[in-house]
Amino acid sequence: MTGDAGLAIGYELQGAGLTGPPGVLVATARAAEAAGVDYLVFPDRPATATDSAGPPAAAVVAPWIAAQTSRIGLVTTGSTAYHEPYHLARMVASLDHVSAGRAGWQVVTGPDDLADANHRREGVDPAAHREARAAEFVGVVRDLWDSWEDGAFVPDKASGRFIDGSRIHAIDHAGPALRVRGPLNVARPPQGHPVVFASAADAPVASTADVLTVGDPESGDAGRPRVLAVVPFVGRTGAHAAELHARAGAPRSDHERAVVVGDPDEVVGQLSSWAGSVTGLTLRFRDPSQVAVFTDEVLPRLRRVRPDGAGTLRDRLGLPRAANRLAVQTATAVERS
Amino acid sequence: MSVQRTLHLGLMFWATGTHAAGWRHPDARADAAYDIRLIQEVSQAAERAKLDFVFLGDRLATDPALQHSNPAQISRLEPFTTAAAIAAATSHVGIVVTANPTYSDPYSIARLLASLDHLDGGRTAWNLVTGADAAAALNFGRDAHWDTGKRYDWAEETLRVVRALWDNAPGPDGRGGRPIHHRGTYFSVDGPLDVGAPPQGQVVLLSAGTSDRSRDLGAREADMVFAGPQPTLAARREFYADIKARAARYGRADQVTVLPGLTPVVAPTTEEAVARYDELNSLLVLAPEEEVGELVRAGGIGEGYRLSRTSASRLFGVDLRGCDLTAQVPAETLAAVSEEGRRRLAEITRLTRRTATGPHRITYGDLVYATPTQLSHTVVGDPYEVADMIQEWFEERLADGFNIYPSSVPGSVTDFVDLVVPELQRRGLFRKDYQGTTLREHLGLAVPPRRSA
C-alpha cells in the first residue's frame, strides 16, 4: 500500500430525484462532471414490482447523457439473461464511439424472477440457462469488440478502400449456450474494450471483468482492480449523520456495500483509508440531497487517480487500453508460418 | 374530403451516402459513420428544413465483400445509441429507429422505444423490419434463417405485445402500470412495463415491403409505409393505391402515409446536377472482371449484379468487355441491346440527358454504372426539376411524401435542404414551420386512446 494512492470516484444514479424527469438527470450528470466525478453508473432492471414508472432504459439514457457531457465516464448496466450478445456488444461499443472512449458495461446475471417473466419466448427461458449463458457471454462480447482490428475502418477516398477486410474477423463462437458467428457491424471501440464491471459476488462473470465491485475492501480478488460500493450518509455533524442514517432505515454494511456515516471530516478520513486497497469507490446515494453534500464537502478532499480528469474511462481507472485478442492470434499465426 | 393533404419528407441516414461511391465525393465525410457530431449536425439541418424525420436504417450482420457495391451495409453505430445522441441535439425532428423483432423480444423493444420517446419528447418512430438477411441468423444462435411466414407471425405477435405493454404502462403521473399476462404462440410476457407509457401513447410505426403479408401489416398497423423502388409507373401507382385500399378496409385510409425512397442529385443548374451525377459514378470501383456474373447480395435491400463490364455485357446483351468507360457508344451497338437494356437506356437518358444519337451521346460508363439495382428512385436536375417531380408524384397519388436518400453525407443533405425544400415551401407543398413537437403531430395523427389488457 502506498501513501499517495488515489481513488477513482463513481456515482450510481438510482432512486427518486436522481433519474427523473430527464432534465434532472442531465443536471445531475453535468454537476457530477463539473465536480470531477470519474464515472456515472446507470442501473437497469427490465421489470418492476410496482405500478410505478422507473427510469428510461440505461442503454438509451447513457448515450443521451454522453451527448450532453464531455469528460465523465458512463457505465451502462446490461444483463446477460435478457440481451443477445450481438446486440449488447454493439450497444456498448457504440456508446464508446459516441462518448470518445468513456463507456463501461456493468454486467449483471440475475436471478430475477420478475424480469424472467417479461422475457420468455419460443426456445428461450431466461431462468433455465442463466449460468451457462452468463459464463460464455462476456467472452463473446469481447471477441465481437475485437472482430474489427484497429485500423480496419479505412475510408480512404483516394484509393476507394473503405475497409480492410483482412482485419475483420468472424468469431465463430459455438458454445453450449451461445452461438455467434460475427464479425460485429461496429468498428473497434476507442478503448479497445469498454470497461467491464461485475460484482465480485457474481460467480459466472467475476473472473471475466476488468473491474470488480466489492462491498468490503478486503474481499474479492485483491490482484485485480476493485471498486468499493459505498452508501454514504454525510451530516453537518456526526449526530446529524446518524440521524440521516436512522431516517433511511439504518442500513448496514454487508457483502454488497459499505455504509459510511459521519460528518465530512469523518467520511473523508474513512474513504481515504481505503485508497491503496481499492482502485475506486462507487457511491450509491439513498437521498438526492446527499449527492450535493458529498460533492461539495467530501469529493474535493479525496486524492484521485487522475486529478486532471483527462482521458478515457480506462485512463481514469488506471487501466491500459485493451489489446486485441483476435489480432494477436493472427500475428502469432503469421510468425509461425 | 376536407382534410388538406400535406407533403411529408424524411431523411434516410446512411453515413456513406446512398450512392455506393458517395463517401468518396469531395463534399462527403468519409468517416461519417463514427462521427456523432456530424450525425447530429445533419439531423439539425433536417430540423432547420422542417423535415418530418431522420431515419436510421440497420442491418444485423456485416459483409466486407460489400465495400464497393454497398458500403452502407458494412458498419454503423447502433440505432438506439445514435438516436439518443440525435435526441439530445434536436427538439422537433422525428427520429426513426430500426428494430428487428426476429432477433429480439417484445419487452426489450417496447422498453427501448418508450425510453427513447421519453428522452426525445414524443419524436420516436419504430421501423419494423423482419430481416430478409440470412447472415443475421448466424449472429443470434440460429442455424437457419426463418421463412417469411414465420418472421411475420413472430413480428405480428411482437407488435401485439409491444402495443399492450405501452397501453398498460404507467401513465403521465408515473403510476398505474398494469400487467398484461400475455400468453401467445411465441411469447409469454407478464408486464407491466417498467418505463412510463410513451408520450405519443403508441410510438409511430413504419413498415415496408411488397409481399402480401407486409402490405397487410402496413395497411392495418403502420403510420408510414415505405415504398421501395418500383420499375414502372404502373407498379408505383398500384402499390400506392393498394396500400390505401387496404387501409380503407381497416378504417384508416387517412392514417397511412406512403413514402417512396428518392435520391435527388440536385445542383443550381441541370448541367451541374448531371456533372455531379457523373462525378459520383466515376468514383465507383468496378469489380475484378474474373468475378463476373455472380449475383451478390446487396445486403438486405435487394440484390444487384456486380459492377463490372462483364455484368453490364450480360444485362445489355452486347459485348462491353474492354471498353473505355469515357468513350461514346456507337448507335448501332445501342440499337442491339436487350429489352431490359432498352429500359435501362431510357433511365440513362432520363438521368443524364444523353441519348443514342443526339448532341450528348451515351457512354460505355453510363451502361456499366446503370447495371446494379438501384436502392431508390433517382432524380437528377435543378431545384425546379426535382420539385416538379416531387409535386407530380404527390399530386398523381404515387406518394404522400418521400424518404430522401442523400447520395453523399453531408453534401447531398445540404443540397436538398438548401435548394429543394425552399422551392417546395414556396409552392405551398411543404410546411414552413412545425405545427407541433411530436412526430404524431407532424403526421397529423392523434394520440390513440389507451386500451386495457
Q: What is the pLDDT of residue B302?
A: 36
Q: Which amino acid is at B62?
A: T
Q: Which amino acid is at A3?
A: G
Q: Complex ipTM above 0.90?
A: yes
Q: Residue range A225-251: average pLDDT?
A: 96
A67 neighbourhood in chain B, CB within 8 Å: 36, 40, 84-85, 87-89
A8-112+190-336 homologous superfamily: Luciferase-like domain (3.20.20.30)
User: Does residue B85 belong to the interface with chain A, where contact is any CB pair within 8 Å?
Assistant: yes
Q: What is the pLDDT of residue A330?
A: 55
Does pLDDT of B294 surpass 50? no
User: Does residue B112 belong to the interface with chain A, where contact is any CB pair within 8 Å?
Assistant: yes
Comparing A171-185, A221-235, B296-310, the range with the smallest average pLDDT is B296-310
Closest CA to B68 of B277, B291, B273: B291
> Where do the domains of chain A lie?
8-112+190-336
Interface of B with A in 65-84 (CB under 8 A): 65, 67-68, 71, 74-78, 80-84
B31 vs A153: CB contact, 8 Å cut-off? yes
A124 neighbourhood in chain B, CB within 8 Å: 105
Confidence of residue B126 (pLDDT cuts 50, 70, 90): very high
pLDDT tens string B16-53: 999 999 999 999 999 999 999 999 999 999 999 999 99
Q: What is the pLDDT of residue B374?
A: 77
Does pLDDT of A1 surpass 80? no
Q: C-alpha grid cell for residue B184? A: 401467445
| Percent of chain B clearing pLDDT 70 (strictly above) | 96
Q: What is the pLDDT of residue B303?
A: 42
Confidence of residue A2 (pLDDT cuts 50, 70, 90): very low
A98 neighbourhood in chain B, CB within 8 Å: 36, 77, 81-82, 85
pLDDT tens string B131-154: 878 899 999 999 889 999 999 999
Cα→Cα distances A180→A82, A170, A217, B130, B228, Å: 16, 9, 37, 19, 31
Confidence of residue B2 (pLDDT cuts 50, 70, 90): very low
Confidence of residue A15 (pLDDT cuts 50, 70, 90): low
Under the phi-then-psi rule, with left for phi > 0, alpha for psi from -120 to 50, and beta for the rest, what region is B439?
Answer: alpha
pLDDT tens string A53-112: 999 999 999 999 999 999 999 999 999 999 999 999 999 999 999 999 999 999 999 899
Q: With contact defined as beta carbons under 8 Å apart, do B260 and B11 qualify?
A: no
Does pLDDT of B292 surpass 50? no
Does pLDDT of B310 surpass 90? no
Closest CA to B453 of B109, B168, B111, B159: B168
Q: What is the pLDDT of residue B1?
A: 41
Q: What is the mean pLDDT of chain A?
A: 92
Find the CB nearest A53 among B116, B138, B195.
B195
A121 neighbourhood in chain B, CB within 8 Å: 105, 186-188
Helix (H) or strand (E) holding A271: helix A264-272
pLDDT tens string B55-77: 999 999 999 888 998 899 999 99
Does pLDDT of A174 surpass 70? yes
B194 vs A68: CB contact, 8 Å cut-off? no
pLDDT tens string A175-186: 999 999 999 999
Closest CA to A38 of A318, A309, A335, A303: A309
Does pLDDT of A335 surpass 60? no
| Percent of chain B clearing pLDDT 90 (strictly above) | 85
A145 neighbourhood in chain B, CB within 8 Å: none
> Where do the domains of chain B lie?
8-266+376-443, 270-369
Q: Which of B68, B82, B194 to mutate to test the interface with A (most CBs of A within 10 A)?
A: B194
B33 neighbourhood in chain A, CB within 8 Å: 153, 187
A82 neighbourhood in chain B, CB within 8 Å: 105, 107-108
The DSSP output letter for A175 is -
Confidence of residue A153 (pLDDT cuts 50, 70, 90): very high
Identify the closest residue of chain A to B115 by CA–CA distance.
A56
Chain A closest CA to B116's CA: distance in Å? 6
B175 vs A52: CB contact, 8 Å cut-off? yes
More confident residue, A252 or B305: A252
A161 vs B195: CB contact, 8 Å cut-off? no
Does pLDDT of A151 surpass 70? yes
DSSP codes joined into one string, A285-328: -SSHHHHHHIIIIIGGGS-BS-TT--S-HHHHTTPPPPPPHHHH
If one looks up domain B8-266+376-443 in CATH, what number appears?
3.20.20.30
pLDDT tens string A188-209: 999 999 999 999 999 999 999 9
Comparing A3-12, B204-213, B293-302, B307-316, the range with the smallest average pLDDT is B293-302
Q: How far apart are CA B321 and CA B333, in angstroms?
A: 13
- φ, ψ of residue A234 in degrees (nearest 5): -105, 120
pLDDT tens string B417-442: 999 999 999 999 999 999 999 999 99
| Paired strand residues for A261 | A233
